Chain A
Amino acid sequence: GAGVSQTPSNKVTEKGKYVELRCDPISGHTALYWYRQSLGQGPEFLIYFQGTGAADDSGLPNDRFFAVRPEGSVSTLKIQRTERGDSAVYLCASSSEGNYGYTFGSGTRLTVV
């Protein structure tokens, strides 16, 4: 597509539930990133994919968080047993190989109640 698309734009879930957040990157972009942004803070790195593989998942806060990118395009961030502290905006970005810039999606605002 023309830009990075993230769905849903907003998600409200109850504590303890499972959620999936989807990212559809710019067509042809091999690199995909997930970031998390809390109110008043800059985005924090979660995970980086190069193609289908997670090249760096060092930012995932704990084992409740997992992400996949099975065909090297769309990625899904999965959060199990959600906690109120998981509430944030989850941003996805993509870039092409050799391109120094990221293009961000508009994010998914996750609220855990």
Chain B
Amino acid sequence: GQNIDQPTEMTATEGAIVQINCTYQTSGFNGLFWYQQHAGEAPTFLSYNVLDGLEEKGRFSSFLSRSKGYSYLLLKELQMKDSASYLCAVKSDYKLSFGAGTTVTVRA
């Protein structure tokens, strides 16, 4: 089975940094994804890690440790528009399994 855990909610101030952790136990691993989902909208792709280490893409970075079953998404220089749900997802073969999502609220 698949077990993917991430915090339910996080709050941060505009301009600050927030780190969203994700731990997983899955049968099979072909990569870990982070998606952003605004209320009422489709999930949109943020990042993909298949090897250990840090991937940086602008204000967003994602880290993976396969031996620890652990990833984090780092959001820097937070903006109000970053208020959304962030979904951690693990790919096994062709299938993505998602965590429940972390709702990030950015306050002025």
Q: Which A residues contact B (CB, under 8 angstroms)? A: 4, 31, 33, 40-45, 48, 50, 55-56, 91, 100-107
Q: Identify A42's interface contact among B44, B48, B99, CB under 8 A.
A: B99
With contact pairs A100-B48, A101-B45, A104-B44 given, residues A45 and B95 touching in the complex (Cβ less than 8 Å): yes
Per-residue contact bits, chain B 85-103, to A (CB 8 Å; 1 contact, 0 not): 0010101001111111100
Does B42 make an interface contact (CB < 8 A)?
yes
A50 to B95, CA, bound (A): 12
- With A41-B100, A45-B97 known as contacts, the answer to whether A91 contacts B48 (CB < 8 A) is no
> Once bound together, how far apart are the Cα atoms of A50 and B93, in whole Å?
13
B45-89 contacts to A (CB < 8 Å)? 45, 48, 50, 87, 89
A104 near B43: Cβ-Cβ < 8 Å: yes
* CB-CB under 8 A for A91 and B97, given A101-B33, A101-B48: no
CB distance from B98 to the nearest CB of A (A): 3
* Chain B interface residue bracket vs A: 20 to 34
Chain B binding surface SS class: strand
For B101, what are the chain A residues with a Cβ–Cβ distance below 8 Å?
Answer: 40-42
Q: Which residue of A42, A100, A103 is within 8 Å of B98 (Cβ)?
A: A42
CA distance A45 to B97 in the complex (A): 7
From B33, B91, B94, B97, give the contact of A48 (CB < 8 A): B94
Interfacial chain A residues near B96, Cβ < 8 Å: 33, 43, 45, 102
Q: Which of B43, B87, B97, B100 gathers the greatest number of chain A CB atoms within 10 Å? A: B43
Q: What CA separation (Å) do A12 and B41 show in the bound complex?
A: 18
Complex interface: chain A residues within 8 A of B87 (CB): 42-43
Whether the Cβ atoms of B100 and A105 lie closer than 8 Å is: no
| CB proximity of A52 to chain B, nearest CB, Å | 16
CB distance from B41 to the nearest CB of A (A): 6
- Given contacts A42-B87, A100-B31, A100-B48, are A106 and B98 in contact (CB under 8 A)? no
Give Cα A101–Cα B95 distance, bound, in whole angstroms.
11
